[in-house]
Structures are given as structure tokens and as C-alpha cells.
A and B are shown apart, each in its own frame.
Chain A
């Protein structure tokens, strides 16, 4: 095999491409990752706020995220590198009867999948989240095994491990074409030349549709954007991620948590969504999020905001990722449309892709791939995706 020939070429060194490269390299697969940005995780990965939860309602996502949690929570032990994993849990709070009912219904489904999640009444919830406003609080769900880690440190950690295992990375290089012959993938062309490969993995996140088109394919991924922010580091206030599902003007929901290092991270889902790839700061974000956070935890009023940013959510019609091979083009794999959950899904997806490439899929894996197939029916959206 020539120096410019690889078993797998991955488009994108982000939340999905990095773990995929690591797991492929760990299985001895000769892997090249190509990213037009200058270093790992510089697309949407660094915009993630770091929440990782298995408490979804779709079995395939639950399975992938359980794998992610297992991997992230043991990372330091296994690799000796800090990624700041912390099992602080997730709470979804209800201040309206409708929200309470919705959460309780969902809880049944989640518990039926064996998830570690339960209902807390008002006072129990306040014990978990001291300073949470008690006024009108009706309780909420609590999933203690969920948590958070640093996307920035995680990206670096996967990158270093992948390099150590022999994966190659080309930064600042753009793929311009996916070369096909006799109906299958044979290589990629870039601004700087080309590479022979029988397998390309589209892990281009918000740019996944553009990469798919290079292969003559179409994948229903359209990015929108969310804004997030971070405060100064503070002494510990509370452990869990607090998800506030109450809709408001221009807001679908919002969430915040305190990192182990002390900063409060926060984010909201705009309604209607901001479609497109615009990542410029908006004047509406801070007033909206501040209003909601101060409602929920009044003492946060004095926490000083340090920085805000905007990141892209590669959305699919039903809010779930699109993962696996496609019938139309052998050698083309995709792991796209993470819908803003690329960071928490990434490690699990990376493992799955590595098993897929090396022919080591389990029965469970086949179920997951079927559930997340590009050919699925996209009309039913996941509850509280």
C-alpha cells in the first residue's frame, strides 16, 4: 500500500471523527482524518457545553450514550489524562402541570429501558439543586449517572491517543471530491492532492450534507445554531445539569450546569430555530437566558458572565443521528446529524463505526444501525430530543 493509501479516510476531526479515528486506529485500521480547520475540535465540538446523558427516549441513542459514558468516565483511569468527567446528574424541572405530566410519561419509557432515572418531589429536588427557586416547583426527573466533561480536553485526548496509535491527521486541508469507480468509493481528492481509500467516513457534522454531495448522495442534515455562555469560576453551588423545558418567548428550552472547575455553563434552544451556519453573536441571547436562569436560581444574578459563543446543531428531520453505510454507494459511511449531541454520542458512535469497519458488529449494533439508518422513516420525532 502506498504512503497515500488508507483503509479509512474520515472527513472531519470533531466530536465524531476524533473518537472514530481513535477506535479505528486501536483496531489497527490505517486511518487518515482530514479537516479544513487548523486543529482538532475547532468546528462545533468546542462549542459544546459538555453535558453527557444517557437519559434519552430512543433506544439506539440510549445505547450509544451509555457506551459514551462508560468511555468518558473511565478515560482518566485508562489513559492518565484529565478530561474533567463528573457524574453530576441531570435534572429536568417542572414548574407547570403540563411539563410535569410530560416528564412523568417520558420517565416510564426511560425506566423501561433500564435507565438510572427517577422522580424527585419538590423538596428532594431542592436538596439536589440548592438555591433552585421553590416557587411553583412541582418536582422533576433526576438521573444521577449522567454527567459532563470538557469537550476541549476530550478532543485533545482523543487526538493524542489516535496519533499514538498511528492515525494520521491533515489539518487545514479540504476534501474537494470523493472518487468513485465501478460504483464504489476508491479515494478522495483534496486541495493538496489525493488519497486512495476504499472507505470514507462522513463525520463532517454541520457540513455533512456538503460531503455527502461529493459522493453524489443526499443526506437530510441542515444546521441551525444555539448560543451558549460561561461565567467566572465560583465555589460549588450544585452538581446536576438543570434542564428547564418551559417554553418562553423565542425560547424552546434552556439548560445550565456548574463545571467541576466552578464555571456555570448555559445554553438555550431558540424557537423558532436559527437556521443556517451563522455563528455571529446575537443581541437577544443574554437577556433571554439571564431572565430564565435568574428565575430558576435567583442567586445566579451575581455570577459574572465571562464569554458567549454560538455553535451549530446539524439537525435531521426527526432529531436523531444518521449512522451507517448506504446501499447506493459501497465504501461510503456516515455518522452525521447528531442534532447538537455529537459530543455525548461521539465516543459510542466511534466504537460502533470501528466495529462496522472491522466486521465486528453485534446484534445490538445491527438494531442501532437499523434505527439510525438513512433509509428510516423520519416522520416521528423523539420526545424532548
Chain B
């Protein structure tokens, strides 16, 4: 008998708009020492399903309508709250997605770590604290006896996730639910955390349910995979079957959406072109920020060197990918080029003009020629303006349309970016994330710019939508002969779209090279580390890589 056997689990949410069948009768099982991955896009019901098991969904509006969840022979859905409390944290533990918000900021990590022991094991605080120090060491926190008295905000994101893992494992649960445990983390940290979870699982022989939107992440850790869509499991089976012998169309679509390989060699600039003056040349660019958090009168202000002496050239018609982890300064570089943030020193020469020397009035005609696509389609559109208002604004402001022609031009633009013409009078909140990003792309190309800076344009989107938007961007680049700086933390996305790649680390450019050569033979240590950390949607290769990561942890 499996450790957990879920049968026909059904959870509904009662909202103003009616009943939402978040989980619509799903069945799965997981055994000791086994990892089940549940994969799906946002809103597929994968998290709700797991939270339903422990009744951690808000009720109301949520309601578990039907189903059975046998855990060691006991039906979790039928147990009273008291028993369930004893199971939570003790037999079944959860690691949540965002380590920044999931730890209580008002209590020390030690206090939070020992709670499961105090309430489930009935041991003294002293013993519990001893155990907490041990587990902190085990999850890779240095000087655990000191750090145990620190507060969550004194840890980095990756360290907090380690604390979360320690907290989940401290009471020796039999089942561990990991809800997107690495989505909020950088790719190099992600690899470490995945290795840690896997190693601890092997050591303790516990069952793991691993929830993720990312098939590539799942490939290395899962034994079984269940693919969810709209509250249903559309396909489930052993990990190799799912990847190598895919049955369901949706799974195929998911796999196809993973950006893989370099883009086809079509718009490669000619060799002669490189000799020409580049469209954009950055020389010794520095953008520093002053940290006023200590009070603006203080003399010892901290200076944050977001962009620190960066030089870069982009040729006409080229797509340059700019890669780096969070805090590397890649977004600031993009904004510095467009003069959206004050530059400290250096020059940004666009088509022969140094933008840093221009007055705001002189800058205005230049702004038409260079545009930006932002990361968050929920924040980058004015919520009080319709699609028409948003798209007509640049056209009218720059005199590219008259009041007579503007409607026609907006409609043409909407056709270009794949929006239904009938949506012209709608407001941003009435669209999905992908559609909103189409509006934002439309706004960026509306002024017929020569240079477009795309700042993580697809990172907030689901993987299938991501692929659509990437293809849209590629089409528009071809159609309008655009030059693009494509900023992303995701190397596989950049590989898919860029001709050349620049890698940023701590405000500095560490390596630049053609996409092909950079992936084939990275020069800089950091680039190597970054490349090694990318998960690929290939279970065999991923397992191999995992093994290398796990070995040292298990032996320690």
C-alpha cells in the first residue's frame, strides 16, 4: 500500500463569478522514498490539490467537495481538526514557494524551527534548540549556533529557503510537499536547493510531492510525473515515459514550449556589418545609487554600484541577450541606456549621438527611436487607460498619426501583436497576463523604434504563453528590422532568441560572445557556473548532474 493514496480529490472555490472547479477529481499516489512531481501552469490547481490534503486552503471560499486521501490508511479528508493538526508538520511537512514571505519576520529562525518539535514531540526547549542547530548545519547554514538567533530578514533568499527546508524536516516527516521551492530563486541557488532536497530525501527515505511549473526542474528530481491542466490530471506516469514517450497533446505542448537550442541562423549580421559603426555603443558606463536608508543627512551613505564600468556595442539588426542573476545590475543597465535612471559617468552613443549629454527636450525625439518592454505586464500598463488610449498615446504624441487615422493605426497595431480588434475599448485588468504583454509589446513598437530594450519580457508568464510571446517578438523584429537588447535571467530563453550574449555579474560585464560559442566554450568561471546550473528537460542528463551535486551532501 502506498504511503499516500489520493482518489477523486475535488475542490471547488465559490467566488462572485460562480463556482470554480480548482481541482476536479484527481487521483494519484506516492510511496516512501519516491518523488511525485505535479506539473502545470498557473491556475491548473496543482497547489490547491496539495493544500487540500491538509485543509490549508481558505475555507470559505474553498470547499473540498469529494474524494479520499488515504495516508497510512487514514483518510485525511475525513479526520477532525485535532488529528489533522498532529499530522501537519509531524507526518506531512510543506516547503513553500517564496522564502521571503513564508517565514515570520517577527520571530527568530530558532524559535520558528523548534515549534514543530515542541508541539509534536513534547520535548524541552533546550533539546529542541540543540536539534534545530543540528538541522541548520545539515541544510548548509554556517555557524548554526550563532545564526539560530537571527531573524529571517538577516538571511538571503537561498538561505531562507534552507531554513524552510530545515523547519519542514526537523520533525522527521514521512511526506514532504515542495510547492515550487526554487521558483523565487536564482538559477545557481536553484541547483543547490534541488540537490539538497534530493539528498535529504535519500538520507531519510521520505516521500516527496514536488509541485512545479517547470518541466526541466522536474526532470532531475522526479520518479513519477503528473501533468495538470484546469484542475484535471491529463497525463501521469514514470518520469522517463512522460519525457521520452509523451502521450497527451498538452504535455507535448508544454515540452515544445521549453526554449531549446539556439535560434536558427537567419538574421545573423554579415561579417562586413561588424566593421560599421554600431547602432548603440556604451563606453565605461557607471550607474551608482546612494542608499539613503540610514538617513539622508548622514555622511556615510552606502553607494550601490549597480552598473560598474560597462562597455558594450550592439550592431544594427542584432539581438543581444543580457544575462545575469537578480541584483546583477542588468535591468539598471537597460534603464541607463534609455536614460530612465541618472547615469553616474560614461557615455551611451546611439546612432552617433551621446544620450548622456542631451537635455530632456533634445531627448524627446530620440525616445521615439528607442523603446522598452517591461517585465511585469500587470504593472506596465496604466490601469485607467483602455487599449486604445495606451496605444494611441505614443502615436499622437509623436505626431505619427492624426486623429482621423489613429483608430485605423491602433487596429493595425493590434492585428500585429495578435489582439482581437473587438478588445479595443477594454481595460488592462480585463486581460490575461499574456494578452497584457501583447499590449505592452504593441506600445513598444508603435513608434517604429530602431532599438527595443526588452527587460525580462517573458519571466512573469506561463511557459506556453512565454513561447508565444517570444515568437511574437521574433516576428516583429523581422518585420520592423529591430535591434534588440534582450535582458533575462533565463539562459535558455536568451539562447533561443539572441545572436550574441553578454553576461553580467555584480554590476560588471564578465563575458560577451556569440550565443553559439558562449554555450559551447564559456570562458569566465561565473559563466561556466551559470551554464552548469541550467536544468534541461531530459531526465537522464538531469539525474547524472543531480548525482554529482548530491554526493557530497550525503557523505557529509
Q: A and B: partners?
A: no
* Chain B interfacial positions (CB closer than 8 Å to A): none
Chain A residues with a Cβ under 8 A of chain B: none
